[in-house]
A and B are shown apart, each in its own frame.
Chain A
Amino acid sequence: GAGVSQSPRYKVAKRGQDVALRCDPISGHVSLFWYQQALGQGPEFLTYFQNEAQLDKSGLPSDRFFAERPEGSVSTLKIQRTQQEDSAVYLCASSLLRTGYEQYFGPGTRLTVT
């Protein structure tokens, strides 16, 4: 498929474990965003990459959250020492740097911390 893909789709972690969530953007999309969506709420911005450069990480809730995009395509969001409040759906979106800058979203990863 030509859309944004994310893996795993579902992840259950015990409190204190580290998790890694993967995002494959649409080929050729320069911009990549991570959002966090709590149950029943709208998504909230976490961090933004333009190619491999992380230009905005103002939304990361704590230093336990880390994101990277080393080659400017695939991105990984890592959460260390997970807490129950980290339970949410993590959405990835990508866009071109032109034509309206429309963002295209992946299906998300649902993280449950027990």
Chain B
Amino acid sequence: KQEVTQIPAALSVPEGENLVLNCSFTDSAIYNLQWFRQDPGKGLTSLLLIQSSQREQTSGRLNASLDKSSGRSTLYIAASQPGDSATYLCAVSKAAGNKLTFGGGTRVLVKP
């Protein structure tokens, strides 16, 4: 059974510092991996999707890497801002169009 772990569970940084969020999964036979952002009381906003054949994806200040063989993904957020404060979740899918298995999330606080 696939298990997804996110460490740390919570992170607090001063504004301007780069954020590094980790995600690990036990079964490397994945189809894709998605990173999401969740604000309090809100749904999930998709940030980046990485196919299993890709090594990384970038969008603005966000960069996500994938090392499928070692079961790890890292989300980098450059030059953090207070508006980046949220919970970040990673999730993997075993097959095309399949359900997502989520990690527990990392709660991020960026202090002005």
Contact = CB atoms under 8 A, between A and B. Distances in A.
Of residues A45, A59, A106, which shows the largest number of chain B Cβ atoms within 10 Å of its Cβ?
A: A45
Contact of B97 (A4, A59, A101): A101
A102 B47 CA distance: 10
Contacts, number: 66
Query: Which label, helix, strand, loop or mixed, suits the secondary structure of the B interface?
Result: strand
Give chain B's interface residue range (CB within 8 Å of chain A).
20 to 34
Contacts of B105: 41-42
B79 to A, nearest CB: 26
Interface in A1-47: 4, 6, 31, 33, 35, 40-45
Interface in B1-50: 4, 6, 31-32, 34, 36, 41-46, 49
Interface string A49-76: 0100000100100000000000000000
Q: How large is the interface on A (under 10, 10 to 19, 20 to 34, 35 or more residues)?
A: 20 to 34
A40 B45 CA distance: 17
